[in-house]
């Protein structure tokens, strides 16, 4: 179990070996959750690469009227996120494998601590797949470590047509704000 303690939220989350950051809330995830503006109150929102769910559960708690899709390629992560949402009473979290989200769902916000270590090509494919599902006024917030290439990712996103700016910067982390293209 780990504790997610934010100014507006206090949750205990079940984790497991083999999922991302099982012993503590990741520092980048914390920077993201302490930096981003509140999510849209309604509509569909996305946590891309949910792990055991700290981002999805924070979105759902800050936007209780919204449906929060929590997706991952790792089945154990999806299962843990689902259990953690249920335990927290956040019944508008939809935990799903990436291939299980209906094609017609569009997201008003995406928050993600993306899996940078999967490699540049896989990262670019993953981001393209999901950023093109933002609504026209939708915004994504990504947390990326500077030494893992936040500046080059920002440049790539801009080059691909998603207007991207640095929304916040704290210690080694950058929060990229990405608008729909």
Ligand X SMILES: C[S@@+](CC[C@H](N)C(=O)[O-])C[C@H]1O[C@@H](n2cnc3c(N)ncnc32)[C@H](O)[C@@H]1O
Question: Which residues here bind ligand X, judged by CB under 6 A?
Answer: 20-21, 26, 29, 48-51, 54-55, 71-74, 77, 98, 113, 115, 118, 126
Judged by beta carbon, residue 121 or residue 136, the one nearer ligand X is 121
Least gap, CB of 174 to ligand X (angstroms): 14
Least gap, CB of 97 to ligand X (angstroms): 9
For residues 120, 155, 51 and 37, what is the CA-based torsion angle, rounded to 10 degrees?
Answer: 180
Least gap, CB of 113 to ligand X (angstroms): 4
| 159: enclosing H helix or E strand | helix 150-159
Least gap, CB of 110 to ligand X (angstroms): 11
Judged by beta carbon, residue 16 or residue 42, the one nearer ligand X is 16
Taking CB positions, which residue lies at the least distance from ligand X? 49
| Tally of CA atoms within 13 A in the half-sphere of 62 that contains its CB | 20
Judged by beta carbon, residue 128 or residue 155, the one nearer ligand X is 128
Q: What are phi and psi of 73, to 5 degrees?
A: -85, -15
Judged by beta carbon, residue 130 or residue 162, the one nearer ligand X is 130
Judged by beta carbon, residue 35 or residue 137, the one nearer ligand X is 35
Least gap, CB of 6 to ligand X (angstroms): 13
- Strand segments, DSSP code E, in 9-51 are 9-13, 44-48
Q: What are phi and psi of 94, to 5 degrees?
A: -110, 105
Q: Where are the alpha helices (DSSP H) in 21-102?
A: 27-35, 54-62, 75-87
């Amino acid at each position: 179990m780990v504790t997610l303690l934010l100014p507006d939220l206090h949750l205990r989350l079940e984790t497991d070996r083999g999922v991302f950051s099982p012993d503590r809330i990741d520092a980048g995830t914390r920077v993201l959750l302490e930096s981003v503006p509140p999510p849209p109150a309604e509509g569909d929102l996305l946590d891309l690469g949910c792990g055991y769910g700290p981002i999805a559960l924070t979105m759902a708690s800050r936007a209780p009227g919204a449906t929060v899709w929590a997706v991952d390629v790792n089945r154990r992560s999806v299962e843990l996120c689902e259990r953690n949402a249920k335990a927290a009473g956040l019944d508008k979290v939809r935990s799903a494998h990436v291939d299980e989200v209906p094609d017609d769902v569009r997201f008003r916000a995406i928050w993600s601590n993306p899996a940078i270590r999967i490699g540049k090509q896989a990262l670019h494919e993953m981001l393209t797949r999901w950023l093109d599902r933002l609504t026209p006024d939708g915004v994504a917030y990504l947390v990326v470590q500077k030494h893992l290439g936040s500046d080059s990712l920002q440049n790539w996103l801009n080059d691909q047509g998603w207007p991207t700016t640095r929304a916040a910067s704290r210690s080694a982390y950058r929060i990229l704000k990405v608008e729909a293209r």
